């Protein structure tokens, strides 16, 4: 993401070999001597997250980030932690402060603020406490929030990345609306809205945890790319082409059709994958991958490019429906 301009950080020495970092008078972390001064990793660097899950032993919230470095590197490492937390939207006290004070927002790019909103939207949709965004002053945050809520509702879990939602937003930003109502009707009926797929998955071998369903979205731009790849297949008389693409989310149970099983599976419902590719033939597309850390391949049910093109009102010559064409299926 983009570089950020950090808010002013004030350091205060507490008298116990510890310096507290504060923003707007609120402590966001510390650097402290925790070992021998001549050690390479003597200084502890901690970025606070007061709302984090509490440690069962200490009873204190788990920090957003922790590191052990030399005394000449501690504050530089702390600043790196702050930048990373703000860019990625990592739950932390510094993120809470800058999101709550709109005067800070001008220091951050639209992409970063969209990311904050997206992750807040997924988290709050999961807890069923969705807020209205109609009057929110930061439109990038508001749009990200709504996209996050929609992503959670479509997928049934919280995606780690907002890249796909950001790509869609760049092409079609959502106008003023109430996020509590999600503007589902306007998004679902729009001719340029992304097309969401929930499809069967085959493969996985004898794995105990094998995906049965996959969920993914195809934006207008992605649809155009798929149509272009199909043209490459046809023009060059190829069988198919493949392109790296990890948008497909693989699940054991679809939260929409098997909500109880998906709920019982919890976090285990999502099946991690690797070597993810988009596969395009002359008239269809699908996603293929390997279950992470295995040699078990899984493959989504193929989808019609003609139907995808129709959704976005794009021209597509479906050769298989032409009488006498050698690509037409033989009866």
Rounded distance, CA 310 to CA 307, Å?
5
pLDDT (0 to 100) of residue 323: 46
pLDDT tens for 38-58 read 777 889 999 999 988 887 787
Q: Cα 272 to chain center, whole Å?
A: 14
pLDDT in tens, 59-71: 888 999 999 998 8
Q: Over the stretch 217-232, which tens digit does the pLDDT of each residue have? A: 998 889 999 999 999 9
Is the predicted pLDDT of residue 250 greater than 80, yes or no? yes
Tell me how far apart the alpha carbons of residues 328 and 320 are, in angstroms, rounded to a whole number: 4
The pLDDT of residue 188: 38
Using CA atoms, how far apart are residues 7 and 12, in angstroms rounded to an integer?
16
Q: What are phi and psi of 27, to 5 degrees?
A: -70, 130
- Confidence check: pLDDT of 156 > 80: no
Q: What is the pLDDT of residue 217?
A: 92
pLDDT score of 10: 93
Of 297 and 15, the structure prediction assigns the larger pLDDT to: 297
Angle between helices 110-126 and 74-88 (to 10 degrees): 70
Q: Which DSSP string do the residues of 301-315 spell out, in sequence order?
A: PPEEHHHHHHHTT--
Distances (CA, A) of 207 to 107, 200, 246, 261, 294: 48, 17, 21, 18, 9
Tell me: the pLDDT tens digits for 85-126?
888 888 899 998 888 776 666 678 888 889 999 988 888 888
SS3 222: helix
| Per-residue pLDDT, 284 | 96
Separation CA 226–CA 241 (nearest Å): 10
- Inform me whether the pLDDT recorded for 320 exceeds 60: no
Average pLDDT over residues 316-328: 54
pTM over 0.95? The answer is no
- Determine the 3-state secondary structure of 198 from DSSP: strand
Residue 183: predicted pLDDT: 41
**Mean local confidence (pLDDT), 8-27:** 89
Taking 90 as the threshold, does the pLDDT of residue 37 lie above it? no
Q: Are 281 and 191 in contact (CB under 8 A)?
A: no
């Amino acid at each position: 993401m983009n570089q950020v301009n950090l808010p002013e950080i004030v350091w205060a020495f507490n008298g116990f070999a510890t310096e507290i970092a504060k923003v707007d008078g609120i402590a966001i972390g510390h650097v402290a001597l925790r070992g021998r001064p001549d050690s390479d990793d003597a200084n502890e660097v901690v970025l606070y997250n007061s709302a984090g899950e509490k440690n069962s032993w200490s009873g204190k919230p788990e920090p957003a980030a922790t590191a052990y470095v030399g005394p000449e590197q501690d504050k530089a490492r702390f600043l790196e932690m702050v930048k990373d937390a703000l860019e990625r939207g990592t739950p932390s006290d510094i993120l809470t402060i800058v999101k709550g004070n709109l005067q800070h927002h001008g220091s951050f790019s639209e992409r970063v603020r969209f990311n904050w909103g997206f992750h807040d939207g997924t988290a709050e949709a999961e807890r069923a406490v969705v807020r209205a965004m109609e009057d929110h002053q930061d439109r990038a945050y508001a749009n990200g929030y709504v996209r996050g809520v929609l992503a959670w509702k479509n997928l049934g879990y919280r995606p780690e990345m907002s890249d796909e939602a950001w790509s869609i937003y760049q092409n079609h930003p959502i106008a003023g609306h109430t996020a509590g109502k999600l503007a589902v009707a306007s998004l679902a009926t729009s001719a340029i809205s992304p097309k969401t797929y929930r499809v069967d998955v085959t493969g996985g071998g004898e794995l105990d945890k094998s995906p049965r369903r996959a969920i993914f979205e195809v934006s207008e731009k992605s649809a155009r790319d798929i149509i272009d790849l199909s043209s490459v297949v046809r023009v060059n008389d190829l069988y198919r082409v493949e392109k790296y693409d990890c948008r497909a989310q693989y699940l054991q149970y679809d939260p929409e059709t098997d909500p109880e099983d998906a709920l019982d599976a919890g976090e285990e419902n999502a099946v991690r994958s690797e070597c993810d590719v988009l596969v395009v033939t002359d008239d269809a597309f699908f996603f293929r991958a390997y279950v992470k850390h295995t040699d078990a391949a899984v493959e989504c049910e193929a989808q019609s490019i003609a139907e995808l093109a129709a959704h976005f009102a794009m021209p597509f010559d479906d050769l298989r429906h032409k009488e006498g064409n050698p690509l037409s299926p033989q009866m």
